[in-house]
């Protein structure tokens, strides 16, 4: 597993080095878009930034996963990977972890720039890290779910933007919950990222996070990991029998 992780991480780092202008453009565009949205709407607060950090990471990973799997599927590369000596599901899990780590670095760069330009100050609390890591496990499960769907339905990648911006709305990442209809809040409450955003915002305004809150967050993330892995494994086993459908 470690050798596979090291190989995948090295491969993606090399890709970033080769196409670094694309990465720079992506970071600059994200920074400018964020500034326009947050400043023009007079929402220059720590609470908004916390929500945006969570959503941006999930959005980046979803985009990376769906586009990567979709392109490899159409080129026939996935069929070759299934024949490798290591389990294919292990490769997908390792890749998902690598996507999370690489995009986490991008998030840190983007928001370091935003914090410097807009002079946002958030007091460090170790609980932010705990909440974020637990929520990231839920993101991992959600990504596995989309990877599984992309294996079965190539067009899933085409709806990546719709999925990402729907999550932006459902999680309340940038829109205050008091401006959202109750049914939308209820839908978003089942997502671990929503709970993670809520708890982090509670910390930012001085409230404490209880053991019950942590338990609910852990349970939500665990459920998403089980669902994501279950769907992926089911589709993967089906694909091994019938072959991967590369039709777009």
The answer to the question of residue 216 being in a domain is yes
248 assigned to some structural domain:
no
Tell me the average pLDDT across 151-167: 72
Domain count, the chain: 1
Is the confidence at residue 147, as pLDDT, over 90?
no
Query: Which helix (H) or strand (E) is 8 found in, with range?
Result: helix 2-18
Residue 31 and residue 114 in contact, taking contact as beta carbons nearer than 8 Å: yes
166 inside domain: yes
CA dist 243 to 75, 82, 151, 202, Å?
14, 10, 10, 48
Domain span at 158: 2-242
What string of DSSP letters covers 104-161?
HHHHHHHHHHHHHHHT------HHHHHHHHHHHHHHHHHHHHHHHHHHH-GGGGGGHH
Domain membership of residue 59 (yes or no) is yes
The answer to whether residue 119 sits within a structural domain is yes
**pTM (predicted TM-score):** 0.78
Average pLDDT over residues 13-41: 80
| pLDDT band of 155, cuts 50, 70, 90 | low
- Tell me the pLDDT band of 213, cut-offs 50, 70 and 90: very high
């Amino acid at each position: 597993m470690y050798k596979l992780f090291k190989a995948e991480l090295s491969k993606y780092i090399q890709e970033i080095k080769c196409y670094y202008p694309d990465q720079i453009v992506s970071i600059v565009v994200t920074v400018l878009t964020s500034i326009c949205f947050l400043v023009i709407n007079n929402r220059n607060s720590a609470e908004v930034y916390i929500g945006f950090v969570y959503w941006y990471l999930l959005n980046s990973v979803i985009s990376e996963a769906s586009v990567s799997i979709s392109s490899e599927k159409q080129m026939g590369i996935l069929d070759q990977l299934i024949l490798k000596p290591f389990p294919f599901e292990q490769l997908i899990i390792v890749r998902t972890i690598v996507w999370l780590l690489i995009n986490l670095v991008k998030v840190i760069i983007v928001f370091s720039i935003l914090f410097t330009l807009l002079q946002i100050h958030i007091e460090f609390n170790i609980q932010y890290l705990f909440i974020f890591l637990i929520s990231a496990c839920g993101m991992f499960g959600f990504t596995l779910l989309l990877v599984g769907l992309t294996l079965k339905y190539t067009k899933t990648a085409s709806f990546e933007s719709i999925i990402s911006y729907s999550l932006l709305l459902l999680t309340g990442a940038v829109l205050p919950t008091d401006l959202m209809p109750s049914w939308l809040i209820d839908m978003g409450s089942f997502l671990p990222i929503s709970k993670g955003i809520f708890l982090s915002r509670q910390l930012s305004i001085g409230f404490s996070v209880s053991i019950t809150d942590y338990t609910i967050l852990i349970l939500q993330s665990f459920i998403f990991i089980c669902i994501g892995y279950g769907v992926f494994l089911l589709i993967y086993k089906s694909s091994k029998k019938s072959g991967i459908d590369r039709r777009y």
